[in-house]
Amino acid sequence: PYAGWSGDEILAKRKQFLGSSVFYYYQKPLNIVEGKMQYLYDENGKRYLDCFGGIVTVSCGHCHPDIVNAVVEQTKLLQHTTTIYLNQPIVEFAEALASKMPGNLKVVYFVNSGTEANELAMLMARLYSGNLNMIALRNAYHGGSAGTIGLTGLQTWKYPIPQGEIHHVMNPDPYRGTFGSDAIAYAKEVEEQINYGTSGRVAGFIAETFQGVGGAVELAPGYLKLAYDTVRKAGGVCIADEVQSGFGRTGSHYWGFQTQDVIPDIVTMAKGIGNGLPLGAVVTTPEIANVLAQKIQFNTFGGNPVCSVGGLAVLKVLDKEKRQAHCADVGSHLVNRLKELQQKHEIIGDVRGRGLMLGVELVTDRKEKTPAKAETNLLFEKLKDLNILVGKGGLHGNVFRIKPPMCFTRDDADYLVDAMDYAMSGL
Ligand code: PMP
């Protein structure tokens, strides 16, 4: 049994010793003390089905034994030195990661988070192109540092500081976007932003293929190909932010960008790459990677032996357990069931995504698409009472984000949908 501090005590100390901007879920936040695969346990031993995986971070499952063992063994042997000495794990992991990438994306820089990965990607894009202006999507989330806050396209996460030379183009959101699924119209707007808002030359373009924080939005089909062409013509490099959508989660492909049939110039990763370890990576071509060689590049913890063996273990587990195919199978079952639920409950405006990267958007009026903010909050609490943890997203917080550890089963999916049905019936 749990012998630590109670949730109430922890909350009181959090309020005293952590910044008040550190937010939590639920009116009475949960004290989670243990995790096992797709389950989390609170201080009272109550078990929850985790449909959000620590914000899409737990890819293989909580405390997956292969990853735990790799980390423990490496920790006992050698925890840290940095890249000033040679050590096998970092290169072994880099080689394995590069083998998962298409085209000439073969050089890896390791960092510690998604924010850092996007900072580095933006730096490389600017140095390589010789230009400053970046293009990003509205409704995007790329980080909270002084640089990446500019890339992020949601006012909820932006502090009023200089936002850099960043232009936010219209979001190719098939549900809410002005042009629906018309990729050509959205791509045209990218061209216009470049022609009217910049010198005509840009450093680069960054996009998540499946917007996570923005509420599980899958970009209009064909958009990235057109946008990449336009940006490359203007001298820019194309960055895919795979922090949430990578590693087979979408089921049909290993990387989110592959669903749009493009090869980016730079790919950034974090979260699921480490199954909970603080780990991020930037993968690019040798040519682009070389722009950093005019100085020296150093990151104290980037690619440290412990995170590297952990990341390598993640890649192996995902292959061994055939998680991409599993995400496709469970995801299609879950989407079908959610679409059936949509027939029954008027409040479900949209069901979207693929694999285990899904969103359910709630509206009070299907025609006006009025965000059902209050109802979402009610259902969110209710689902928690039914032992189910989902995520929330979108500018208005009216989208349920369903992105569980990839070991999530069809039975788990049924349990989730039945619980949503029950909760919605009681509205
Ligand atoms: N990119 C995306 C798509 C993300 O979802 C996030 C985190 N929510 C980040 C970047 C930033 O990652 P981190 O919090 O690890 O800095």
pLDDT truncated to tens, each residue of the chain (427 aa)? 899 999 999 999 999 999 999 999 999 999 999 999 999 999 999 999 999 999 999 999 999 999 999 999 999 999 999 999 999 999 999 999 999 999 999 999 999 999 999 999 999 999 999 999 999 999 999 999 999 999 999 999 999 999 999 999 999 999 999 999 999 999 999 999 999 999 999 999 999 999 999 999 999 999 999 999 999 999 999 999 999 999 999 999 999 999 999 999 999 999 999 999 999 999 999 999 999 999 998 999 999 999 999 999 999 999 999 999 999 999 999 999 999 999 999 999 999 999 999 999 999 999 999 999 999 999 999 999 999 999 999 999 999 999 999 999 999 999 999 999 999 999 9
CA of 12 to the centre of ligand 1 (A): 28
How far is the CA of 107 from the CAs of 20, 104, 282, 295, in angstroms? 39, 9, 8, 17
Ligand 1 contacts CB of residue 56 (under 6 A): no
Residue of minimum CA distance from atom 12 in ligand 1: 114
Mutational test site, ligand 1, from 244, 268, 277, 279, max ligand atoms within 8 Å of CB: 244
Ligand 1 contacts CB of residue 114 (under 6 A): yes
E-strand ranges in 216-291 read 217-218, 237-241, 266-269, 280-284
Residue of minimum CA distance from atom 1 in ligand 1: 142
Contact 40, 390 (CB under 8 A): no
For residues 132 and 200, give the distance between their C-alpha atoms in angstroms, rounded to a whole number. Answer: 11
What atom in ligand 1 is closest to the CA of residue 242?
A: 3
ipTM over 0.90: yes
What does the block give as tokens for 138?
């509205």
* Strands, sheet with 134-137, edge to edge from the N-terminal-most edge strand: 107-111, 280-284, 266-269, 237-241, 204-208, 134-137, 166-169
Written as one letter, the residue type at 171 is: N
Q: Which domains does the chain have, with CATH numbers?
A: 7-60+322-425 (3.90.1150.10), 65-320 (3.40.640.10)
Residue 272: DSSP 8-state = G
3-state SS of the chain: helix, strand, coil percent to 5? Answer: 40, 20, 40
For residues 57 and 348, give the distance between their C-alpha atoms in angstroms, rounded to a whole number. Answer: 26
Residue 290: DSSP 8-state = G
Residue 358: DSSP 8-state = E
For residues 306 and 312, give the distance between their C-alpha atoms in angstroms, rounded to a whole number. Answer: 10
What does the block give as tokens for 350?
């949209």
Ligand 1 contacts CB of residue 216 (under 6 A): no
What atom in ligand 1 is closest to the CA of residue 116?
A: 16
Ligand 1 contacts CB of residue 357 (under 6 A): no
Residue 101: DSSP 8-state = S
Report the pLDDT value the prediction gives residue 421, as an integer from 0 to 100: 98
Burial of 107 per CB tally in 10 Å (0-12, 13-18, 19+): middle
Report the pLDDT value the prediction gives residue 267, as an integer from 0 to 100: 98
CA of 99 to the centre of ligand 1 (A): 23
Contact 219, 207 (CB under 8 A): yes
